[in-house]
Amino acid sequence: MTMMTKALAALGGVMTLAANPALAETLSLGDFQSTSHIVSVEGTTKWMAAVEEATGGEVTFDHFPSQQAAKSKAQLDAVNSGILDAALLGALYHSETLPLNSVVGLPGYYGTAVEGTRAVQALLKEGPLRDELLAAGVTPIFGFVLPPYQVLAKTRLGMPADWDALDIRTSGATQAMTARSLGGVGISIPGPEVYTAVERGRLDAVLFPLASVPGYKLNEVVSHISTNGSFGGYSFVMVVRSDLFDGLSPEVQEAMITAGDEIAVHVAQAQDDSVDDLIQQWTDEGIDTYSFTEEELATLRDGMAPVTEDWVSRMGGEAAQEVLDLYQAAMSE
């Protein structure tokens, strides 16, 4: 073999490996949750392990949790720029790029994480939500939701009059509208920064899913937690940069998706299962874990009713209405 032939052969090998990173590369995966958060323990970590096992070690991951590679609102940009190969996106943090995916933030549409997750998974398989992610340069592998948001505060919040002029932590524009509909002021603060904001009095209340509270230790800085409200939802989507994903073998692609389908329901169920135990734990700690009365629930629902209409209008009318209809249909299946 001549030197030129050897050089061409070597170059061909490099090009082959570059075209199929699964044969030679460990994929970098970013997310903003800590490794102790239930989403990481029962979701991200289990999915990575399942993919590594299913591919016989051909695909491995370098995991960058707790915003180590990019801030929560910069995860999508980090994937598109090549800083990361994959990321667990918080969809509401990217509502400017993924406006239709913010439908999950609407209040009152699902009662458990499993219920909401099955609907989101269906919409990520085909349709406008999937198309929006693909247009953003990433391929959705699986998605899941947090349990419905509750309100955490230093005083009991019931009727809308109790919410008047309060600074309330919200996730994204849709949930900010929910806070405004009840008389409060929605303030967007990433999860990792909420503890300090409450502790220092920057926030009066927090809209948050109960299963995620321990990950941020918010039970240490509030004294009242609602248990039966529905102040919107939050979806996570595991994505891989599309040009990279398209270069993977069909077998590896299938392994990622199959593992994702299983993990999505698993992490949703794990969150639902954790809520009752957490409520009992907080009650034992002296926190007022309370249920809204029927009168309060009815009044709150009436107050939040305009949020859906506002969302459809802000998100583009006809396209947003189609997504809402699909979301409602998926929820009823």
**b/e code 60-74 from CB counts within 10 Å (16+ = b):** ebebbbebebbebbb
From first to last of its 333 residues, the chain has per-residue pLDDT tens of 433 333 333 333 333 333 444 354 799 999 999 999 999 999 999 999 999 999 999 999 999 999 999 999 999 999 999 999 999 999 988 989 999 999 999 998 998 999 999 999 999 999 999 999 999 999 999 999 999 999 999 999 999 999 999 999 997 788 899 999 999 999 988 888 999 999 999 999 999 999 889 989 999 999 999 999 999 999 999 999 999 999 999 999 999 999 999 999 999 999 999 998 999 999 999 999 999 999 999 999 999 999 999 999 988 779 999 999 999 999 888
Distance CA 281, CA 323 (A): 38
CATH 3.40.190.170 assigned to 149-232+275-332: yes
DSSP secondary structure letter of residue 146? P
Q: In the sheet where 224-226 sits, what is the strand order?
A: 185-188, 167-170, 205-209, 149-153, 224-226, 288-290
Pick the CATH number of 23-146+234-273 from 3.40.190.10, 3.40.50.300, 3.40.190.170, 3.40.630.10: 3.40.190.170
Do the strands 149-153 and 205-209 form a parallel or antiparallel pair, or are they unpaired? antiparallel
Domains 23-146+234-273 and 149-232+275-332 share a fold: yes
Amino acid 203: pLDDT: 97
Rounded to whole angstroms, how far apart are CA atoms 109 and 92? 16
CA distance linking residue 290 with residue 313, whole number of Å: 34
132 phi and psi, to 5 degrees?
A: -65, -40
Give the residue from 29, 327, 61 showing the smallest Cα distance to 174.
Answer: 327
Query: What's the pLDDT score for residue 250?
Result: 96
Q: Where are the domains of the chain?
A: 23-146+234-273, 149-232+275-332
Tokens coding 169? 């932590």
Q: 217 with 239: CB under 8 angstroms?
A: no
